[in-house]
Amino acid sequence: MNGDQVELRQLKYFLAVGEELNFSRAAERCYVSQSAISLQIAKLEREMGEALFERSSRSVRLTVVGAQLVSIARHMLELEQAALALTARRQNQLRLTGNMTFAANALAAIVRVREHHPQAEIDFVLKRFAEQIEAVTSGDCQVALIRGSVERSGLHVTELWTEDLVLALAEGHPLAGMEHPSLEELAAYPLLLPKRSEQILLHRVVERAMKRSGLRLTFGPPVAVDHTASAELLNHPDCWSILYASTAESTPTTGLVFRTEAQHRLQLPVSAVVDASIPETAIQRDLIAALADTAPERSA
């Protein structure tokens, strides 16, 4: 091993690939892009001075050294969780994590909880989606407020409400004059989104909706990381895009129109995620209930 230090993040990514034996599935499980997980594995292999995986066009397998590292990595990550547990907050303290689009919901829920639990100390911590689930599993935060859901052993997911995605079209788009375009009508035009690895959730929602409706989805040019889909629509007025409702509210409307799908087929859940192995406190229970009560009114 060279002079660099192995990071716990690299071991988490290594374990994910070692258990999935597939870089793409491991990246989705860790909520990062495949390129990011490949980069960290390559760095870990350089630091170990050994190949950890045998890769071919058809399969990924652990090398002898990789197989030996699996049990060590698991033990180190268990030690990390044990260390974090030693600093767990008292019963009247709780950390809620989410992104900025949930700030109003979080603050409203916290105010309500403190009316019944005046001793409560509740922090709202801003984190990217890729960090939120890890914050719950590590014990750094007790509740994560996310869009979508999570299928992972040891986590408990409570669906709080369902949110319609917003259709964005250029004013000159053939469907712009319709109040509620249907999927069937939208399928005739290309969808404009960032690359799937950069926006997995939106891709999944629209792909599943199209598949269930027996429709074929086509894509326009992927939106670059330093661009927005709404701005790119002005350069590609024959395309359409989808936005979270909170994103649409803060997006300039010049040259654009916002719509909802006719049959509400483009929607996703908003969920609260907790560690199922940790007993629920009264503050946590009441906070999740209060968050559910902040659900936005659904338009007709």
Residue extents of the structural domains in the chain: 8-86, 93-162+268-292, 166-265
Q: What is the pLDDT of residue 24?
A: 92
CATH H superfamily, domain 166-265: Periplasmic binding protein-like II (3.40.190.10)
Inter-residue contact 269 to 163 (CB < 8 Å): yes
Domain 93-162+268-292 has CATH 3.40.50.970: no
Q: Comparing 86 with 46, which gets the higher pLDDT?
A: 46
Q: Which residue's structure tokens are 């969780």?
A: 81
pLDDT at position 208 over 60: yes
Q: What is the pLDDT of residue 83?
A: 74
Q: Comparing 148 with 190, which gets the higher pLDDT?
A: 190
Which CATH number does the domain 8-86 belong to among 3.30.160.150, 1.10.10.10, 2.40.30.10, 3.50.50.60?
Answer: 1.10.10.10
Res. 300 pLDDT band, cuts 50 70 90: very low
pLDDT at position 154 over 80: yes
Instruction: Record the pTM.
Output: 0.65
Closest CA to 88 of 282, 275, 286, 288: 275
Q: What is the pLDDT of residue 109?
A: 97
Q: What is the pLDDT of residue 85?
A: 64
Inter-residue contact 187 to 216 (CB < 8 Å): yes
Rounded-to-integer distance, Cα 290 and Cα 240, Å: 35
pLDDT at position 129 over 90: no
pLDDT at position 298 over 80: no
Q: What is the pLDDT of residue 86?
A: 59
pLDDT at position 177 over 60: yes
* Overall average pLDDT of the 181-202 stretch: 92
In this predicted structure, which of 101-105, 149-153, 213-217 has the lowest mean pLDDT?
149-153
Identical fold at 93-162+268-292 and 166-265? yes
In this predicted structure, which of 139-143, 290-294, 296-300 has the lowest mean pLDDT?
296-300
Inter-residue contact 165 to 202 (CB < 8 Å): yes
Cα 296 versus chain centre, distance = 20
Look at phi and psi of residue 241 and say left if phi exceeds 0, alpha if psi is from -120 to 50, else beta: beta
pLDDT at position 4 over 80: no
* Cα-Cα end-to-end distance for the chain: 61
